[in-house]
Amino acid sequence: MSIETINIHPRSGDYDIAVEGKADQIVMIIANAKGQRIVEDLWPDVEWARDAYFATYPGEWKFTHVRVTKMPPHIEATGIALAEAASDSLGFLVANSLQAFAEPRRVVHWVGEVPDVTANMYDAERGAEGRKRALELFVEFVPATRTVAGSA
Residue 152 lies in a domain: no
Q: Using CA atoms, how far apart are residues 84 and 98, in angstroms rounded to an integer?
A: 22
- Looking at residues 94-108, what average pLDDT do you find? 93
Task: Give the structural domain span for 12.
Answer: 3-144
To the nearest whole number, what is the mean pLDDT of the chain? 85
Element (H, E) at 111: strand 107-111
Residue 149 lies in a domain: no
Is residue 51 very low, low, confident or very high in pLDDT (cuts 50, 70, 90)?
A: confident
Residue 97 lies in a domain: yes
Is residue 144 very low, low, confident or very high in pLDDT (cuts 50, 70, 90)?
A: confident
DSSP 6-75: ---SGGG-S-SEEEEE-STTEEEEEE-HHHHHHHHHH-TT---B--GGGGGS-TT-EEEEEEEEE--HHH
- Looking at residues 110-128, what average pLDDT do you find? 80
Percent of the chain with pLDDT over 70: 86
Judged against a pLDDT cut of 90, whether residue 68 lies above it is answered with: yes
Residue 120 lies in a domain: yes
Judged against a pLDDT cut of 50, whether residue 20 lies above it is answered with: yes
Contacts of 34 (CB under 8 A, 6+ apart): 16
Lowest mean pLDDT among 29-33, 86-90, 106-110, 127-131: 127-131
Residue 119 lies in a domain: yes
**Cα–chain-centroid distance for residue 20?**
6
* pLDDT score at 12: 57
* pLDDT score at 152: 43
Judged against a pLDDT cut of 50, whether residue 56 lies above it is answered with: yes
Q: Are 12 and 48 in contact (CB under 8 A)?
A: no
Number of folded domains that form the chain: 1
Residue 150 lies in a domain: no
